[in-house]
Amino acid sequence: MKPQKVRVSFRKNRSERTRTSNWTRQFEEHGFEEERETAAERISGKGELSRKRTVAENIPDAETPLFSGRVLCVHGASIAVQTGDGRLFQCVMRRVLKTLQTDERQPAVAGDRVGFRPAPNNETEGMIEHVEPRTNTIARTSKNRKHVIAANVDQVLIVASADQPELKPNLIDRMILTAEQSGVLPIICINKIDLVDPAGLQPLIGVYSQMGYKVLTLSAETGLGMERLRKQLLNRSSAVAGQSGVGKSSLLNAADPQMHLRTAEIGHAFKGKHTTTMAELRQLSFGGFVIDTPGLRQFMLWDIIPEEVFGLFRDLRPYENRCRFPDCTHSHEDDCAVKQAVGEGRLDLRRYESYLAVRFGN
């Protein structure tokens, strides 16, 4: 087979200067007035063409075949990859993949399926040659770039705590929107239920349950709900995400004691500490895979324009075509079916306020 050639763009820092930048200094030091350029003369390079290159994708052959594996974790330049038969390789990314122009922070993340070439005379190291297309991602915006938290998962467990730190429904809503957009099943897990009166959470749980979302009330401390959690994780590929200190690692340790994930106590201000420092794919002893992710302090949506927000709110969506104006933003317009439904109690007020916060960036 002939290698497949593709034209790719590189990051701006991969191109050389198209012209020297010290002409003024040279003129001031040495003169050369007779060589002064006219004001109308322009000198330019290739511009964008200088940051493009034809890359030939490597094709496996009989002598040096590519191995297939899944990324377990990324730690700096070292990428842990596990093959289907359980062998573990410490790999590095092919340089051309690292320099491609992309909106993402990293070319590979936990959960990615990759093709890599083992190092000669070394059964534990390799070079990643390509990253397979992802079926889905859980991503957020970080410094105007796409931060992929996990890739190729069946479901995302959105973990919140009933107390210490306090429950943040708006954060749950934002993560649900990302899951809806990516086609990932969202599961809401409320941990530390033993710290509060469960009856106080029933209105919130009821709102999500009426929309069809599964809500698990759990306690890693007492073991409440662990059997339901195991059934939800069984034979699935899951990502566990949530703010710092809600007990994501503690829940996984309680569900599978063989995980042995690091945990830490909550600070005096009831703010979580970043005990988990990188996303890591782990295999569950009872079947399935789970990606434990670092705690989040905020969750800014990626690749969701304001006009798309309303359609991602499952409970508001049925009222979209009942408004007087076809371009209604459901905020200030008259004869708005959404505002009328909120006023009559058919829609939850907090969910409507959450929509306004996401839609208008408040």
Q: Do both 124 and 263 map to the same domain?
A: no
The verdict on 335 and 271 lying in the same domain is no
Mark which of 98, 131, 164 sits at the end of a domain: 131
% of the chain exceeding 90 in pLDDT = 64
Into how many domains does the chain fold? 3
Start-to-end C-alpha separation, the chain: 54
The SS3 of residue 34 is: helix
Q: Which segment of 49-53, 69-73, 148-152, 340-344 scores lowest on mean pLDDT? A: 49-53
Q: What is the pLDDT of residue 11?
A: 62
Where does a domain end: 131, 153, 180?
Answer: 131
290: pLDDT strictly greater than 70: yes
Q: Is 248:263 a contact under the CB 8 Å cutoff?
A: no
d(C-alpha 142, C-alpha 303), whole Å: 12
Whether residues 201 and 254 share a domain: the answer is yes
215 and 276 fall within a common domain: yes
* Per-residue H/E/C for 168-214: CHHHHHHHHHHHHHHCCEEEEEEECHHHCCHHHHHHHHHHHHHCCCE
118 and 144 fall within a common domain: no
Note whether 169 and 158 are within 8 A (CB). Answer: no
CA–CA distance, 110 with 151 (Å, rounded to integer): 7
Torsion angle of alpha carbons 30, 35, 40, 43, nearest 10°?
-80
Residue 215 lies in a domain: yes
Say whether both 157 and 117 belong to one domain: no
Both tokens assigned to 290:
């789970």
Altogether, the residues listed in the chain come to a count of 362
Residue 170 covered by a domain: yes
- Whole-number Å distance between alpha carbons of 182 and 92: 28
Domain limits for position 226: 140-292
Provide the pLDDT confidence category of residue 40 given band limits of 50, 70 and 90. very low
Residue-averaged pLDDT of the chain: 85
Residue 192 lies in a domain: yes
Report if residue 21 sits inside a domain.
Answer: no
Q: Is 335 helix (H, G, I), strand (E, B) or coil?
A: coil
Asked if pLDDT for residue 203 goes beyond 80, the answer is: yes
Angle in degrees, CA 143, 146, 148, rounded to 5: 125
Q: Are residues 200 and 333 in the same domain?
A: no
Residues 254, 200 share a domain:
yes
* DSSP per residue, 242-266: EBTTS-HHHHHHHH-TT------PP
**Distance, CA of 347 to CA of 349 (rounded, Å):** 6
Q: Is residue 97 very low, low, confident or very high in pLDDT (cuts 50, 70, 90)?
A: confident
Written as one letter, the residue type at 21 is S
109: domain CATH number is 2.40.50.140
On whether residue 59 sits in a domain, the answer given is no
Question: Within this chain, do residues 247 and 163 fall inside the same structural domain, yes or no?
Answer: yes
Q: Do 279 and 338 belong together in one domain? A: no
Comparing 316 with 63, the larger pLDDT belongs to 316
Checking DSSP bridges between strand 67-75 and strand 113-118, what pairing results, if any? Answer: antiparallel
225/258 same-domain check? yes
pTM of the entire predicted model: 0.81
In a domain, 26, yes or no: no
Residue 46 covered by a domain: no
Grade residue 214 by pLDDT with cuts at 50, 70 and 90.
very high
148 CB-near residues (< 8 Å, 6+ apart): 104, 105, 106, 109, 137, 138, 139
Q: Is residue 114 part of a domain?
A: yes
Do 197 and 286 share a domain, yes or no?
A: yes
Element (H, E) at 297: none
Final residue of a domain: which of 131, 155, 180?
Answer: 131
CATH number at residue 323: 1.10.40.50
